[in-house]
Each structure stands twice: as structure tokens, then as C-alpha cells.
Structure 1
Amino acid sequence: MPDPSLIPSLDLQLTWRGTFGRVRVFHDRVTAETSYERPGRTEVPMASVRGWRIEPCDFDAVCVEFVTDDDTFRVLLDTTDERVADHALRRVLGPPLTD
């Protein structure tokens, strides 16, 4: 049987208007990468993330925002993935940031 720490419990991806977003949720951690508002695909430095939230980006996409002291990394996801992403991120990272 494969090591469960190597298999994500949730793997969401979106290619949207020329940008790429991916959030992978494991039982003990989250990984993410994005090209939205970036010159190329960038891994979100999860060790530096101090909070997260989900915000609308457009009528057909939401942004998962990972906030560090120096930057905000926005990962685009399909609007239909918002609820499952919110639930999974709360389980691993705790409650989202408030405005």
C-alpha cells in the first residue's frame, strides 16, 4: 500500500485564460502553484504563509489567496471547487483570514 503522506486527499487544478493554478491537500500539509499574476509557474512558499482566504476573481473562477508577510499568491480555481477547497484548507490550515 502506498504511503498516505505522499498521496493528496484533494488535488484541484485549473487552466484558465492562459494561467495555471493547482492546490494539493495532504493530511498534514498543502502545496500550491500558480502562474496567475506571475511571469511563470511559481510554487507558493507554504512555509511562509501566515494565512489564506478564498475570494471571487471572476464569474467563473475563485482565487485561493495565500498570504505571506511580503506577498499574496493567488491560485485560481473553478467556482464549483470553492466549497470543497474551503473545507479541505480549513482542515489542514485552520480558519481563513478575515478581511
Structure 2
Amino acid sequence: MPDPSVSPTLDLQLSWRATTGRLRFYDHTVHAETSFERDAPTQVPMDEVYGWRIEPCDFDAVCVEFVTARDTYRVLLDTRDERVARLALERVLGASLPSEG
């Protein structure tokens, strides 16, 4: 959980078709939460993430997929935020995984 006294350098979020997704970027970390394909809002266990990618979800949303050994967490973002999210994720987490499509 991020320190509430520290403001993120970038905060992207989307509420879409009864789901929510949020990416908060700090100097050298990213925090993610999602309710997409989940029973309740879920924090992505970033310490377990070994890769990420951005895939289309629909005509007006993209999925940022965070891959762990046990699960894939999908965080929905507006298609307009895809480029800035990709740049910020590359800065913090390194290169993305190959596309599954």
C-alpha cells in the first residue's frame, strides 16, 4: 500500500462497465488495483509480478496485464491513456512481455 502522505507522479484510473482500474506511479514503483474479473477490488501484488503487457479489451478500453506465477491481473484503462501508461511502465518495470494476440 502506498504511503498516503506521498503523492504519485502519475495517477491513471478508469471506471468502466461496473469495474475499476487504477495505476499509481511513484519515483521507482507502481501500485495497481483492479476489480476487472474479480469479486472485489484487488491490489495487484507487485512484488510477485514478473512481467506486464498491454492488450486491447474493447473498442474503448485496454487491459494492462500484470503476470505473476499464479495469476494474471488485468487493470482496465482508457485507450487514450495507453501510450503514457506504456512509457511509465517501461520506466519502472522494464520492457513488456510479448503480446498474446
User: Who is 1:58 aligned against?
Assistant: 58
Are 1:31 and 2:31 counterparts?
yes
| TM-score, normalised via structure 1 length | 0.93
User: Who is 1:81 aligned against?
Assistant: 81
Task: Please list every run of 5 or more consecutive structure 2 residues that lacks an aligned counterpart in the other structure.
Answer: none
Deviation of 1:6 (Å):
2.1
User: Who is 2:17 aligned against?
Assistant: 17
Partner Cα separation in structure 2 for residue 93 and residue 7 of structure 1:
19
Partner Cα separation in structure 2 for residue 81 and residue 22 of structure 1:
11
Where do 4+ consecutive residues of structure 1 move more than 3 Å? none
> Number of aligned pairs?
95
Deviation of 1:7 (Å):
1.9
Partner Cα separation in structure 2 for residue 95 and residue 7 of structure 1:
25
In structure 2, give the amino acid aligned to 1:95: A
Deviation of 1:27 (Å):
1.0
Deviation of 1:19 (Å):
0.2
| Percent identity between the two aligned chains | 66
* Residues 22-81 of structure 1 deviation map (CA, whole Å, 9 limit, x = unaligned): 001111100000000000000000000000000000000000000000000000000000
User: Who is 2:44 aligned against?
Assistant: 44
Task: Please list every run of 5 or more consecutive structure 1 residues that lacks an aligned counterpart in the other structure.
Answer: none
User: Who is 1:71 aligned against?
Assistant: 71
Partner Cα separation in structure 1 for residue 66 and residue 94 of structure 2:
13
| TM-score, normalised via structure 2 length | 0.91
SS at match of 2:13: strand
